[in-house]
């Protein structure tokens, strides 16, 4: 048996889950939603910028059990388009924000100082976090210069002036998390203007695996943006004074840009060795979903070997030719550039896009001899997601629906302080989501397991621990979810940020 057929057989075997379900296509309802906002400046040519790697943030203080960080949020001029300085809302001056790297089970405390001219809220997406540090959308950090009587100071919720310390116990497995703004009604512009960064968690299980590491472990934050004639980030605010939330009615389905950025650079290039790379894919776009594909695919296909999902490692690798990724989803994949000839140029494309949005970035493979590469993908990565639907005693249904006045869950616009559910800590529950449009649905606090999608086989990308599930029009999905450890108020919402800002969000309280 050749190495190739061996590999194909192993990957075919991996396509049967631990529960014996055979995974199938199930992509019939995958599509784009949103309205394209065109840039008013000339678009730069693709593949001219080098891929930036966000800086790693160093802790300001380390004790026996805690790492302390400080991030000042402020306006900064960043370089996105050649020839323009773009004013962004930044975490510590960069877009994306600096990457935090934590150890599972080690407490991480992040002090966010707000020197922006707007209130902010920080949510660690995918984090298993006590409710008072989870970034509830009314738990604002008012700007350092805020005075009693300012609009932000009169809202309900626990507003702090100037700074807030977010405490993350991180009792969860290794995973690719991200942090971003979560201010009620204004998350769309906050993220669009730059408030997003990676937070990676490592653990002993991951360390013991022979996966690519170091400079062959690359975070890739994919976002679409539109720009004004003078190269500024263009967002169609409902109200330039930030009193009325959301976007204009023309963009209520979602704001789509025509420039694709990876780590803040338009259609960048990453020079790579002929070696295996781990790519931590994050879709941090407001509304755009992508279907990622390598062009050309490697001989024999299966170029994107998924090893992780939103919540951490898969139990076994799953190979894909195409990988759909909705807003807020993460996919951890290995790409083996040894399968291409020296000097090959391989594009990461988006088959849901066209023209400028049909391409993402390019990998330029070195021409010299292939360097040493001891990495490999083990057949078993970690324990499977065994959330057992048979043990669920509670089933809840959440309908994500379009109404003329906004986007609703079970008929309701977001009402802070009103629970849509009160799950008991430690119980496994069945949650059924139904939709009438495209909605990437996100739960705070708990990762879940996708059980069914329209009674059809799951998408190949539906496996593992998930905190976000993308549904198309008239889809129904069932998930098993279990919330643990932290009683309090959390959120269930659509992660299309325009839908979220226009009220497609609900509180639930764990008891």
Asked whether position 499 contacts Cu ion by CB under 5 A, the answer is yes
Instruction: Show the binding pattern over residues 447-486: x = contacts Cu ion (CB under 5 A), - = does not.
Output: ----------------------------------------
Asked whether position 496 contacts Cu ion by CB under 5 A, the answer is yes
Q: Which stretch binds Cu ion (CB under 5 A): 60-68, 244-252, 312-320, 489-497?
A: 489-497
3-state secondary structure 109-156: EEEEEECCCCCECEEEECCCCCHHHCCCCCCCEECCCCCCCCHHHHCC
Least CB distance to Cu ion at residue 97 (A): 25
Q: For residues 459 and 499, which CB has a smaller minimum distance to Cu ion in the complex?
A: 499
Q: Which stretch binds Cu ion (CB under 5 A): 147-155, 190-198, 212-220, 436-444?
A: 436-444
Q: For residues 225 and 499, which CB has a smaller minimum distance to Cu ion in the complex?
A: 499
Asked whether position 288 contacts Cu ion by CB under 5 A, the answer is no
Least CB distance to Cu ion at residue 35 (A): 14
Least CB distance to Cu ion at residue 494 (A): 3
Least CB distance to Cu ion at residue 378 (A): 37
Least CB distance to Cu ion at residue 402 (A): 9
- Rounded Cα gap, residues 355 and 200, in angstroms: 33
Q: Which residue is it, tokens 């203007």?
A: 193
Q: For residues 263 and 435, which CB has a smaller minimum distance to Cu ion in the complex?
A: 435
Q: For residues 196 and 497, which CB has a smaller minimum distance to Cu ion in the complex?
A: 497
Q: Which stretch binds Cu ion (CB under 5 A): 80-88, 289-297, 424-432, 433-441?
A: 433-441
Q: 473-509 burial string, b = 16+ CB within 10 Å, else e?
A: eebebbbbbbbeebebbbbbbbbbbbbbbbbbbbbbe
Instruction: Show the binding pattern over residues 339-378: x = contacts Cu ion (CB under 5 A), - = does not.
Output: ----------------------------------------
Least CB distance to Cu ion at residue 246 (A): 12
Q: For residues 106 and 439, which CB has a smaller minimum distance to Cu ion in the complex?
A: 439
Within residues 216-245, the interface with Cu ion by CB under 5 A covers none
Asked whether position 493 contacts Cu ion by CB under 5 A, the answer is no
Backbone φ, ψ for residue 273 (5° rounding)? -75, 165
Q: For residues 139 and 253, which CB has a smaller minimum distance to Cu ion in the complex?
A: 253
Least CB distance to Cu ion at residue 124 (A): 21
Q: Which stretch binds Cu ion (CB under 5 A): 1-9, 83-91, 305-313, 438-446?
A: 438-446
| H helix or E strand, kind and range, residue 260 | strand 259-262
Question: What one-character-per-residue DSSP string does 40-90 give?
Answer: SSPPPPTT-SBPP-PPBPPPSEE-SSEEEEEEEEEEEEE--STT--EEEEE
Decide if 478 contacts 430 (C-beta within 8 A).
Answer: yes
- Angle among Cα 340, 341, 346 to the nearest 5 degrees reads 50
CA dihedral for 500, 183, 173, 398, sign (positive or negative): negative
Q: Which stretch binds Cu ion (CB under 5 A): 105-113, 258-266, 466-474, 498-506?
A: 498-506
- Rounded Cα gap, residues 15 and 21, in angstroms: 9
Q: Taking phi first (over 0 means left), then psi (-120 to 50 degrees means alpha), and beta for anything else, what does residue 391 get?
A: alpha
Considering all CA atoms of the chain, what is the largest pairwise distance in Å, rounded to the nearest integer? 74
Q: For residues 33 and 382, which CB has a smaller minimum distance to Cu ion in the complex?
A: 33
For Cu ion, how many residues bind (rule: CB under 5 A)? 4
Contacts of 443 (CB under 8 A, 6+ apart): 431, 467, 481, 490, 491, 492
- Rounded Cα gap, residues 462 and 83, in angstroms: 41
Dihedral angle of Cα 362, 368, 369, 371, to the nearest 10 degrees: -60
Residue 330 gets which letter from DSSP? E
Q: For residues 274 and 439, which CB has a smaller minimum distance to Cu ion in the complex?
A: 439
Q: For residues 90 and 496, which CB has a smaller minimum distance to Cu ion in the complex?
A: 496
Q: Which stretch binds Cu ion (CB under 5 A): 155-163, 204-212, 316-324, 439-447?
A: 439-447
- Rounded Cα gap, residues 149 and 146, in angstroms: 9
Asked whether position 408 contacts Cu ion by CB under 5 A, the answer is no
The residue from 226, 323, 494, 497 that contacts Cu ion (CB under 5 A) is 494
Q: Which stretch binds Cu ion (CB under 5 A): 152-160, 196-204, 448-456, 492-500?
A: 492-500
Least CB distance to Cu ion at residue 173 (A): 28
CA dihedral for 136, 137, 138, 142, sign (positive or negative): positive
C-alpha 5 chain-centroid distance = 34
Q: For residues 356 and 443, which CB has a smaller minimum distance to Cu ion in the complex?
A: 443
Asked whether position 439 contacts Cu ion by CB under 5 A, the answer is yes
Q: For residues 123 and 199, which CB has a smaller minimum distance to Cu ion in the complex?
A: 123
- Rounded Cα gap, residues 438 and 418, in angstroms: 25
Q: For residues 122 and 503, which CB has a smaller minimum distance to Cu ion in the complex?
A: 503
Least CB distance to Cu ion at residue 157 (A): 23
Asked whether position 256 contacts Cu ion by CB under 5 A, the answer is no
- Rounded Cα gap, residues 143 and 120, in angstroms: 8
Residues that bind Cu ion (CB under 5 A): 439, 494, 496, 499
């Amino acid at each position: 048996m050749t190495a190739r057929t061996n590999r194909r057989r192993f990957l075919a075997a991996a396509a049967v889950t631990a529960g014996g379900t055979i995974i199938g296509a199930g992509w019939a309802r995958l599509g784009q939603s949103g309205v394209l906002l065109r840039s008013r400046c000339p678009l730069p040519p693709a593949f001219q910028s080098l891929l930036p790697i966000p800086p790693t943030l160093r802790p300001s203080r380390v004790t026996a059990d805690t790492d302390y960080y400080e991030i000042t949020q402020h306006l900064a001029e960043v370089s996105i388009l050649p020839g323009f300085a773009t004013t962004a809302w930044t975490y510590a001056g960069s877009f994306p924000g600096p990457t935090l790297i934590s150890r599972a089970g080690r407490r991480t405390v992040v002090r966010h100082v707000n020197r922006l001219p707007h209130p902010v809220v920080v949510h660690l997406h995918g984090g298993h976090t006590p409710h008072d540090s989870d970034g509830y959308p009314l738990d604002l950090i008012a700007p350092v210069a805020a005075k009693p009587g300012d609009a932000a100071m009169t809202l309900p919720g626990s507003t702090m002036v100037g700074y807030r310390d977010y405490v993350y116990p991180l009792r969860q497995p290794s995973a690719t998390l991200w942090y971003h703004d979560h201010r009620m009604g204004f998350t769309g512009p906050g993220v669009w203007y730059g408030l997003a960064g990676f937070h990676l968690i490592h653990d002993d299980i991951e360390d013991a695996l022979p996966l690519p590491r170091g400079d062959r472990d690359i975070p890739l934050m994919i976002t679409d943006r539109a720009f004004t004639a003078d190269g500024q980030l263009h967002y169609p605010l409902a109200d330039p004074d930030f009193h009325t939330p959301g976007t204009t009615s023309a963009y209520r389905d979602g704001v789509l840009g025509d420039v694709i950025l990876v780590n803040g650079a338009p259609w960048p290039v990453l020079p790579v060795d002929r070696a295996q790379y781990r790519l931590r894919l994050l879709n941090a776009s407001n509304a755009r979903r992508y279907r990622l594909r390598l062009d050309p695919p490697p001989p024999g296909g299966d170029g994107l070997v998924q090893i992780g999902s939103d919540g951490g490692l898969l139990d076994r690798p799953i190979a894909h030719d195409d990988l759909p990724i909705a807003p807020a989803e993460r996919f951890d994949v290995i790409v083996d550039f040894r399968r291409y000839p020296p000097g090959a140029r391989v594009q990461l494309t988006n088959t849901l896009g066209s023209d400028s949005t049909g391409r993402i970035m390019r990998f330029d493979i070195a021409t010299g001899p292939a360097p040493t590469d001891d990495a490999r993908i083990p057949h078993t990565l970690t324990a499977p997601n065994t959330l057992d639907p048979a043990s669920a005693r509670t089933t809840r249904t959440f309908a994500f629906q379009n109404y003329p006045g906004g986007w609703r869950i079970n008929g309701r616009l977001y009402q802070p302080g009103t629970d849509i559910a009160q799950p008991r800590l430690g119980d496994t529950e069945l949650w059924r989501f139904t939709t009438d449009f495209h909605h990437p649905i996100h739960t705070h606090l708990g990762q879940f397991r996708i059980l069914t999608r329209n009674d059809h086989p799951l998408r190949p990308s539906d496996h593992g621990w998930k905190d976000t599930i993308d549904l198309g029009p008239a889809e129904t999905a069932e998930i098993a979810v279990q919330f643990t450890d932290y009683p309090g108020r959390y959120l269930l919402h659509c992660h299309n940020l325009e839908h979220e800002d226009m009220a497609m969000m609900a509180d639930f309280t764990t008891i």
